[in-house]
Amino acid sequence: TNRGPTGMTRFSDAFENIGGIGCGVLLNAQSVVIESSYNGPMLPCPITTQGVAMLLDACKKDQIIHVKFVIDILQRGITILKKLPNISEVTTNITKQITVVGDLHGKLDDLFIIFYKNGPPSNENPYIFNGDFVDRGASSVEVTLILLSFLILYPNHVTLNRGNHEDRILNIRYGFAKELQQKYRRYAKRLTCLYEEMFSWLPLATLIDSKIMVVHGGISDRTNIKAVQNLNRHKVRIDSK
């Protein structure tokens, strides 16, 4: 991949051409009106267990979730993620087990199969989702909304790590930016900015019982945990225009 100025300009130009409402326009869920033509789920804000059930059912039916609810879930997820350290710490002392899920890449069927076999996340059934939630698959929006909704419901038992595809440039190259444009058109650019913000606050790794390190992309035998803990993870991003 060309990482030089020319390549960066090309990707940036591609990003600037999507969407209608720019990053500089402030949006909040309450200001977005739901059109009478909308036939998707009316999700509660904030999301509840019943709301998550409605979300899962709508995703199974291939319904588009209204942008109002997308914005609300993203913003509430960001609020939680901002408070987290670079390395999350979880324990199996109470639950005795924890499920680690790798690259979902926008594949909703894979996520549903995992929930069917292992049960959905809960206080008694903790999960670590180890990055690469988006790109390649056709349902990156739905996958991220489901994961963030469970994070909102169970912030102490659902952990999200950042992968290399939680990145603006890769989203342009591998399909997530296009998916947002196809599903949300007028709001695509603003949603892309919100997703970029959310990605930049995702923790970088998770420690299980202070013994097992879960991180996207692997580790070496010289991994300095203290150095990772002290990184400014939010700084490594491309500022929106």
Contact yes or no for 87/205 (Cβ under 8 A): yes
The Cα 64–Cα 54 span in angstroms is 12
Residues 6+ apart with CB under 8 A from 234: 200, 201
Structure letter (DSSP) for residue 87: E
How many whole angstroms separate alpha carbon 169 and alpha carbon 190?
Answer: 16
CA dihedral 229, 125, 133, 100 (to 10 degrees): 60
Tokens 């299980």 — which residue? 208
| Cβ pair 240, 196 in contact under 8 A | yes
* Active-site annotation, residues: 165
**pLDDT of amino acid 3:** 39
Whole-prediction pTM = 0.88
DSSP string covering 97-149, please?
A: --EEE---TT-HHHHHHHHHHH---BTTB-EEEES--SSSSS-HHHHHHHHHH
From the list 239, 238, 173, the residue with the least C-alpha distance to 1 is: 173
Q: What is the pLDDT along the chain (241 residues), one digit of tens a residue?
A: 333 333 333 333 333 443 344 455 557 898 999 999 999 999 999 999 999 999 999 999 999 999 999 999 999 999 999 999 999 999 999 999 999 999 999 999 999 999 999 999 999 999 999 999 999 999 999 999 999 999 999 999 999 999 999 999 999 999 999 999 999 999 999 999 999 999 999 999 999 999 999 999 877 888 889 999 999 998 755 444 4
Radius of gyration of the chain measured on its C-alpha atoms: 18
Enclosing H/E stretch for 80: helix 67-82
